[in-house]
Chains A and B, each alone.
Chain A
């Protein structure tokens, strides 16, 4: 079932994330995906995360479908122009992919091929629109399609951005363009998240709060300094610092955040970033 269908049924939606490998050895990636079986509703497959060249999202989505796991196809506008993006959307549909998360994408210079030419022909809003047009039997240029695809379209937002208003304006555009669910950047402050949820209540779209389990106090400090819109408050950094078993503490904090925010939103999106084994632990500890 798609994320939008689950949310409509009132299910608290749980998604997690798996990153394709750099290369063709897919063993570990599939093991990670296997850990999620029966625990999550869908698994996001990242699209060359952080602009680092890797195995593509679409083939991995298909590999999951063959194993009876529900994928979320992440698509960025960084590497493909509107011709390739639309083509891959058609490809996704023919391969059985329904959930598509539409993102702008990180800038090229932040990855491992800074010499590459950035594309950004479309932005996240117009990518959503392109997918919507395809669903209506036309491409972006207005040409008719033979057969029409159908998607469950998603988008992202950064609830911790300061100022928040520009993000809200863009989120509104994304929902208008066709976004049926929203996954957020990592959140560590439930009070601020509540304010955000109140500000977007009128959009009437299911929102999955982003959770990144902490590994260490150093990781928290690094994110605070370098990741836009992510803020780990001092008390959590301190908690991590004092913890004897840091990994366990990270899981405990993630579970606590989920418990605190569960009543505010329609689901959670857990991004373990290379520590996928912790995802089932977080879900269990949160009592989901």
Chain B
């Protein structure tokens, strides 16, 4: 089970700047359990975005966004709406965002931060990985995670070791993550995202104690505490 929390609405709104027509994707798996991307949260998001003057061209809450084949199959009936959208808002874990990015040629904005993977990585069997960093950057990187795709987890662009699209460390098998990000953003006409200088990562968000990290309870309790504080 992957524990996620919603990104603050102002951050989501900022990531949607310049995009008028939005398609929203939720997930009936972990995100529904976390109440960050189930039917109820997606409908609430539709309302909130409409209040901000956005046009929500459609939404879909899939069974498991971490199953790439399923994502492609389930989004097919929404193809026209998705094609007409400026971008997609994905209210799931980072794997869901990357899964969608892998099958849809549109900008995919993350709506959540992953705080814990809880011992399993969902159903996803692709190359995409989520580092549970608690501060999802997929909005800036075309739906490809720089923390896991780049050998050095660089967040502001490639190092000098990128050659023919490969990482100089194990070039036979390892793509340069930033080359993938660059090609993806270029394809989407979204290279401006790469020009944003990102602040140093706040690694304190991904440092729960080992004994807590071996269970998902701490993350759930944290969410409950936050919910009751509201």
Contact = CB atoms under 8 A, between A and B. Distances in A.
Interface of A: 82, 104, 106-107, 109-110, 118, 120-126, 129-130, 140, 156-158, 161-163, 165-167, 169-170, 172-173, 176-177, 185, 226, 228-229
Nearest to A141: B200
Nearest to B151: A107
A118 B154 CA distance: 12
Which of A110, A158, A170 has the most chain B CB within a 10 Å cutoff? A170
Contacts of A172: 195
Contact of B152 (A104, A165, A167): A104
Contacts of A166: 157-158, 162, 178-179, 182, 194
Given A104-B152, A169-B195, A140 B158 contact: no
A163 B182 contact: yes
In this complex, the interface size class of chain B, counting residues with CB under 8 Å from chain A, is 20 to 34
A229 B200 contact: no
A126 B199 contact: yes
A249 B19 CA distance: 58
B197 A125 contact: yes
Given A107-B168, A121-B203, A156 B154 contact: no
A155 to B, nearest CB: 11
For B155, B160, B170, which residue has the most chain A Cβ atoms within 10 angstroms?
B160
B164 interface: yes
Residue with the highest number of chain B CB atoms closer than 10 Å, among A82, A126, A162: A126
A161 B151 CA distance: 18
* B-side interface mostly: loop
Given A166-B179, A177-B197, A228 B157 contact: no
Nearest to A109: B169
A173 B182 contact: no
Contacts of B179: 166
B191 A169 contact: yes
B160 A126 contact: no
A118 B182 contact: no
A83 B200 CA distance: 12
B194 A126 contact: no
Contact of B156 (A109, A163, A170): A170
B159 interface: yes
Interface of B: 151-164, 167-170, 178-179, 182, 186, 191, 194-195, 197, 199-201, 203
A109 B169 CA distance: 7
B154 A120 contact: yes
B203 to A, nearest CB: 7
23 contacts: A104-B159, A107-B151, A107-B168, A110-B168, A110-B169, A118-B152, A120-B153, A121-B201, A122-B200, A123-B156, A124-B156, A125-B156, A126-B199, A158-B160, A161-B162, A166-B158, A169-B157, A169-B182, A170-B156, A172-B195, A173-B156, A173-B157, A229-B163
Contacts of B155: 123
Nearest to B150: A120
Chain B CB count within 10 A is highest, among A118, A125, A129, A140, for: A125
A107 B169 contact: yes
A102 to B, nearest CB: 12
B194 A169 contact: yes
A185 B160 contact: yes
A117 to B, nearest CB: 12
A287 to B, nearest CB: 30
A163 B187 CA distance: 14
Given A125-B197, A162-B164, 19 more contacts: A107-B167, A120-B154, A123-B155, A125-B156, A126-B199, A126-B200, A140-B200, A158-B160, A163-B182, A166-B157, A166-B178, A169-B191, A170-B157, A172-B195, A173-B157, A226-B168, A228-B160, A229-B162, A229-B163
Contact of A82 (B156, B159, B197, B200): B200
Contacts of B156: 123-126, 170, 173
A110 B178 CA distance: 19
A228 B197 contact: no
A167 B178 CA distance: 10
Contacts of A170: 156-158
Nearest to B201: A121
A106 B167 CA distance: 11
Nearest to A140: B200
Q: Which of B162, B182, B200 has the most CB of A within 10 A?
A: B200
A166 B181 CA distance: 10
A120 B152 contact: yes
A176 B197 CA distance: 9
B33 to A, nearest CB: 33
